[in-house]
Amino acid sequence: MRDPYEVLGVAKNASAKDIKSAYRKLAKKHHPDQNPNDPKAKDRFAAANQAYEIVGDEKTRARVLRAPPVAVIPLPDSAASSRGRAARDSNSAQDVLAATRSMATAISSARFSVTPSPARAAPAWAIAASRPRPPI
């Protein structure tokens, strides 16, 4: 997701009034009803809405300002990534299998002591309901 301030075109220290004004301008400019022939207008309108939801609310805005920046990791070329994915998947399958075996061993070697729950007396209504009724 892009920086919400960048989407709205405002500075990070912009006032709530400036943010709202910028959002309204973008919403009017990129609204799908205003741009029926532009297929990307809907995406730009949605991006502006999402950015305003984050920055327009004071609590969310404070949380975004406190959040550390996210590092962008470049992706390798497709051939290397497919080889890496295959190796990663086989390693994770081996790890899962090893973990499953160790859990099964731990469970089978554990001694479980099952203590029965103490017998409870039946409630009075259950006893009364189980007795046959006398004939009238």
pLDDT digits (tens, 9 = 90+) for 66-104: 766 655 555 555 544 555 555 455 556 677 777 777 767
Domain-wise residue ranges, the chain: 4-66, 75-106
Question: What are the tens digits of pLDDT across the range 42-68?
Answer: 889 999 999 898 888 888 877 776 766
Residues 57, 64, 14, 48, CA torsion sign:
negative
pLDDT of 10 above 70: yes
* Per-residue confidence (pLDDT) for residue 22, from 0 to 100: 92
Contact partners, residue 23, CB within 8 Å, separation at least 6:
8, 48, 51, 52, 56
Q: State the CATH class of domain 4-66.
A: mainly alpha
| Residue 20 CA, distance from chain mean position | 28
62: part of which helix (H) or strand (E)? Answer: helix 58-66
Query: What is the spatial distance between Cα 58 and Cα 44, in angstroms, rounded to a whole number?
Result: 23
* Per-residue confidence (pLDDT) for residue 58, from 0 to 100: 82
* Per-residue confidence (pLDDT) for residue 115, from 0 to 100: 56
* Per-residue confidence (pLDDT) for residue 20, from 0 to 100: 92
